[in-house]
Amino acid sequence: MLKIGLTGGIGSGKSTVTQIFSELKAPIIDADIIAHELVGPGKPALKAIVDHFGQQILTNQNALNRKKLKEIIFSNPEQKKQLEQILHPLVFAEMESQIKQLSGPYCILSIPLLLETQMEDFVDRILVIDCPVEFQLERVKNRDQLSEDRIKAIIASQATKEQRLQAAEDVIDNSTDAQALAEQVKKLHNLYLSLA
């Protein structure tokens, strides 16, 4: 099975693109969804995170306080690295096990931090969703109600546009309208079927 690693900066439109692939019946495995599930109450990953960061990152219901954790890791690169060392191996192991259960010519692996985790070899091709920074700022502001400074800090902590484009076999330009976006996805869908 051909493994397509879909990546892009925050607010570039990864979810929209995976949604269109999904409508074309491509199986999707999403690293963010897996990471979310891995830190559920009672899960080993949550325990490992609490062991490192302390009880302060739990809510009163003993669930992960994501807002608190984000504050810690975005203000301290060392802590961010610690969190990644706990989570990333578990996320990739779970992705691996989900891939084994799939059948079909190709699958989309949505991995926002594909380049940052140096996991390019995990996939067969890299598909980058690209758009201007102004679009990213606008989308994330509307979606997550974060300040512009916080969003810029997140963008700065990710791979640069140049690094992504250099690593990409395929690029989707998400700076136009929904129809143009759907057309680009269809084209790639057909390419991936032919390559598989």
**Per-residue confidence (pLDDT) for residue 102, from 0 to 100:** 96
Q: Domain 1-27+105-196 adopts which CATH fold?
A: Rossmann fold (3.40.50)
Report whether pLDDT(128) > 90. yes
Query: Residue 74: pLDDT above 80?
Result: no
pLDDT score for 93:
95
Residues listed for the chain: 196
The whole-number average pLDDT for the span 10-19 is: 95
CA distances from 5 to 80, 118, 124 (A): 23, 12, 7
The model's pTM: 0.91
- Over pLDDT 90: what percentage of the chain? 77
Q: Residue 25 — very low, low, confident or very high, per pLDDT cuts 50/70/90?
A: very high
**Residue 118: per-residue pLDDT:** 92
The answer on pLDDT for 54 being more than 80 is: yes
Query: CATH 3.40.50.300: which residues of the chain?
Result: 1-27+105-196
Is the predicted pLDDT of residue 44 greater than 90, yes or no? Answer: no
Phi, psi of 63 (to 5 degrees): -100, 165
Q: Name the packing angle between helices 148-157 and 66-75 (round to 10°).
A: 70
pLDDT digits (tens, 9 = 90+) for 177-196: 999 999 999 999 999 999 99
